[in-house]
Amino acid sequence: MKEWYIGCDLGGTNLRAALVNVTNGSVRQAISTPTLSREGPNAVIQRMIDLFHRVIKESGIPLDEIGGIGIGVPGTVDMERGVVLFLPNLPTTWPNIPLAEYIQKGTTLPTVILNDVRAITFGEWRFGAGQGVDTMACFAIGTGIGGGLVINRQLHLGFGGTAGELGHITVDVNGPRCGCGNYGCVEVFASGPAIAAMGIKAVVQGWTTQIGTLVDYDLNRITPEVIARAARNGDAIAREIFEIAGGYIGTAVANVVVAINPQRVVIAGGVAQAGDLLLEPIRRTLHKRVFVAPKERVEIVPSTLGNNAGVIGAALWAHHYHTKS
């Protein structure tokens, strides 16, 4: 069995690739390069091919010892055909791009694709915060909110890999419109931009808060990280913002808990770096809202693989896909 696979995270800002040992989750030769997505799919795909060749060359591992490539993609894909269907945050949205075929031709390595947060979920379950449980859910909170599910030790994918879009659980039926077309999704209320928007509103309305001071009242510099810094400094408004966001995420978590009874819920993504500022209101909301499932047995934990979660999960999926077929 080949132990080494390439995992790649296709991001709107950066491409990140690495060789992953699928028996122990170790990562070798992780390299990032700008995506430059405005140049369009063809240029980005060639950049990915060049990146994979660079990873292989610098790792010193012979090509014939590498089992394949897995790519985590930030949008909707046809996993069976290896075709990208819709990437909402990349220019041109990449409709019907046969990504796996192009990469395989450019590298000679068998290639599979899956949603990027499903890749994070798989990585965290095998070698990260989800190790040791049969059923888990993952919420990745960043520019949007992505999700993934492992049920009975299987990555749950549904039709074409679309299952697990936990960021689009409705938490307010009268809420504002989401980018997905629905109204009141948890992503509208608790993504990174939504948290930043609450901070901007507090400053604009003249509330007593450190948030504006920390960025010299440059509203464009207000981010969840800035708000978390203010909250850790004891700022009541900043703490309330995370209480609100955590409450909405906790409501979505509660819905998942009554549906599939996960033993563990992993909170990943850049916003999760707020730690207990976000995790504690999620936990409190879960306990407040769930009555028909053993909520006290559900663990809410931060991810542990950091930036490597996506590349590890994508490589593991490539191995899983090729060994089962």
- Order of all β-strands in the sheet with 154-156: 154-156, 145-151, 136-141, 264-268, 299-302
Q: How far apart are CA 143 and CA 194, in angstroms?
A: 9
pLDDT at position 322, please?
82
Strand partners, 10: 15
pLDDT band of residue 162 (cuts 50, 70, 90) is confident
Tokens 């549904």 appear where?
Answer: 158
For residue 175, give the DSSP letter: P
pLDDT at position 40, please?
93
pLDDT, average across residues 272-285: 97
pLDDT at position 325, please?
58
Assess contact for 290 and 254: CB atoms under 8 A.
yes
- Per cent of the chain over pLDDT 70 is 100
pLDDT at position 172, please?
97
> Residue ranges of the alpha helices (H) in the chain?
41-59, 99-107, 116-127, 186-190, 192-204, 211-214, 224-232, 236-260, 276-289, 309-324
Query: Is a pLDDT exceeding 80 seen at residue 253?
Result: yes
pLDDT, average across residues 208-226: 97
Between 1 and 134, the higher pLDDT residue: 134
Q: Which domains does the chain show, CATH number per domain?
A: 4-122+307-324 (3.30.420.40), 133-303 (3.30.420.40)
Mean model confidence pLDDT for the chain: 95
Assess contact for 94 and 87: CB atoms under 8 A.
yes
Assess contact for 114 and 70: CB atoms under 8 A.
yes
pLDDT, average across residues 243-250: 98
CB under 8 Å to 78, separation ≥6 — which residues?
85, 160, 161
84-141 residue pLDDT tens: 999 987 889 999 999 999 999 999 999 999 999 999 999 999 999 999 999 999 999 9
pLDDT, average across residues 180-199: 96
The pTM of this model reads 0.94
